Structure 1
C-alpha cells in the first residue's frame, strides 16, 4: 500500500537523503499573495474586514469577535463528563512536565565587581491558535496555554474559527478547554484574519477593545502559516507548521499491527499528512501493508487516510541496519518519531533530529497528542534539525543585565579600546575612556 524506497546497501549523505525521502510539498510563498489582501484589509478596516472574511471562509458571521464569558461557562457546564475528566488529566500531566522547564535567573561573577545576570522574562501578551478544520482540537488549547502560563505570560487570548453549526462560536469543546484553563478571552476568528487581528488589534462590534499581542503560537493551515510569515517582526511566532508527520523506525521485532495503527493515526489528520516507515525488515514492511489495507477499510475517515497513505509524502524506506535507519530518520527529522526496535531505548538515545521521540511499543504518538505530559506542537517539514517544539522557553526572553564597578571597568578598559580600534570604531573606546578622563576619585 505504501510507496517504497530501497536504500539497502547504500545510505546517501544527509542532503541527498532529504531530497530522496517522502515529504509533503507545501508552498507557503505561493499562499502569500492570497493572504496579503486579507492581512492588509484587517490592518486598515479592523473587525469589519475580519467579519467579512469570516463570512466568506467560514460561512458564518458572529455578532462579536470576542466570545461572551457566559458562552465559555456554558460550554464547560455542558461538557461530557468523560471528556472533562480526560482534559483535566491531560492538563495536570502537561502542567507537571512544563513546570520543570521554567528557567531560573543566574548571576555570573566575571571578575571582582563585574557581574552578568541572565533574567528570564515572559512575553507580555500572547495569542494562541486552536485549529477548527477537519477535526476539533481542545488538546491544542492545552498544549498552547499550559506552557504560556508556566512561563508567567500575563495576558492570553485564544483564537479558534467560528462554527456555523454552533451559531458562530468556536466548537464548544474548545471553549470548555479554555474554561478549564482559566482563559476567559476567546476570539471567534480563524485563518489569516486571526493572525492579522492578533497582530494589529481592533475594536469589536460592541466597542470592546481587542488588544494586539506580542506573539502568536499554534498550528494551522497554509494560509495561517503564510500570515505568520508575513507578519513576523510585528509579532513573534513559534514556527511555520506544515502538515503533520510520523516516522517509525522499526526492525523485525516490531508488531505490524501497532505500526499500521500508528501510521493511520497521523494520516487521519489531513490528506497531506505524512506517514513514513523506516525498517530493516522487508517482511515487516509486507505485513504492515496487509494491516494497513485491513484497517483503512474500517477506520472512520477512510478516504482521507487512504489519500494520505498513498500520497508522495508517505512511504516505506528499506534499510540494511538499524544504524542506517538512524541516519535516515535523522535526515528526515520527523515531527513525531517512534522507535520500535529490539533495543528501542538505546536507539532512541542516539536520535539527534526529531520533534519528539516515542520509545518502544507502549509509547504511541497518540499518547503524546493528549496525555503523556509532553507538548504536541512540534516542528514539521524537517525543521526539527534546527528548531524545538513549543515549551515554556518559547514564551521567555533572556535579558542580560551587566553590572560593573569603576575598578572592574578600569581593569578591562585598555582591552575594550584595543578591540574598538581594531574594528575602526574608536568612539566605542572613547566611551570607556571618558569615564576616567581627569578622574581623581
Structure 2
C-alpha cells in the first residue's frame, strides 16, 4: 500500500528564516576529492541525504577513512592520489546519478576491477553519455544495453588512459566532471567542450586541491596530475544548495503574505538561472551578505510574495537551472499569462521523465494548464487550483514541487512522499514550521 501524506492549503503565507541544507553537488565532490588526498579534510555543512551518503559509502568501499562528527560535519582521510583500493564487493550507488557517473570517470583510471549497481530508478538511467567518451580515452566499461545501463563493470586498462579532446553534445556537469577526474590520470591533456557552460563545481574544487583547470569559452582542459602536486585543504565549507532553496524562493513568491530569509545559499553563477527566471517573472528577491568561501559564492536571499507574470526561456540557460524546472513550473502556474520552456529534453532522463510527470500530475491540480512537448513545457498561468491525489514517481524534486503547488491551492495528497530524503530530509518539517511562524 502506498504511503500517503496530505499537504493542506496555506492561507496566511510562510514566514521566517530557513537554513538551507548543504549543496548536493559540492557535498559529493568534497568527499570524492578528499578521498584522493593523504591528509584529513574536515567538511562542514555536508548534505546528510541519501544521494551524498551513497558517495560516502562508495569512498569507504575504496579504502578512504570517513568519520562523522555530526550529521553535517565529517572528516575524510584518503590513502593518497594513487591510494584507492579494489572494493571487496559491488558498489551500490543507490539513486545517485552523480555518484555513479563521476565514479565511472575516477575508477576508469584505476588499476583494479570495480562494479556498480543501484536502485531501480538508476538502472533505467542512461550512462552512455559518460561511457562513450571514457571509452575514447581507453576505458573498458561493460554493462547492459551496449554498455549504457546498470549493472556496470569497470576493467583496468593496460597502459592507462590517454588524454582526448571531446566535443560534448550536451552541457552536462556530470559528463564534464567524469572526464576531468579521469583526465587527472591520463597520459596527456584532456579537453571537454560543451555547447553551453554547465555548473563548474568540479573545476573550482579541483583548484582547491592544487589542480589547475584551464578555461577557454565553453571548453575546459586538465593536465595529468603528479601525486606530489595534489594537496588536500584542511577544511571545506559547503554552501547551501540553491536547488533546495528554490522551493522556498518559489513558495515565498507565490503564497500571499509570505516573507522568507534564506540563509547561506550558494550563488555560483553557473547555478543562478532560477534567480534570473523568477526576477523576470516579477518576483521580489534581494541578495544580502554576499561572500565567497572555498571558491564558491554565497549569500542570504530575502523573498516576498507579489504578483508574477509568465516568461519564456530555453536551451541557453538550461544548464544553470535544469533541476529547478519542476518548481519553476509551480511558480508559472500561479503567474498571470503563459510560460514557455524549451530546450529541457534532459528532464526526460532524470530520476523519472520529469516533463511527463509535470504534465500528468500538475494537471490533476490545475486541469489543462500544462502541455508537455518533446523538450519543454507550455504552462497556462492563473488557472483555478483544486485538491487532488498525486504520484511523486519516487522523485524528490517532483514531490517537493507538488507539495508547494498543493499548499498554494486547495491542498494535495502525495503518494510516496518519502523520496525527499534523496536531497532534503527536513523539507516537510520546514514547511510546517514556516506556515506556523
Same fold (TM over 0.5): no
Q: Which has the larger radius of gyration?
A: 1
Q: Which structure's residues are more often helix, by fraction?
A: 1
Q: If the length of structure 1 is used for normalisation, what is the TM-score?
A: 0.29
Q: If the length of structure 2 is used for normalisation, what is the TM-score?
A: 0.29
Q: Which structure's residues are more often strand, by fraction?
A: 2
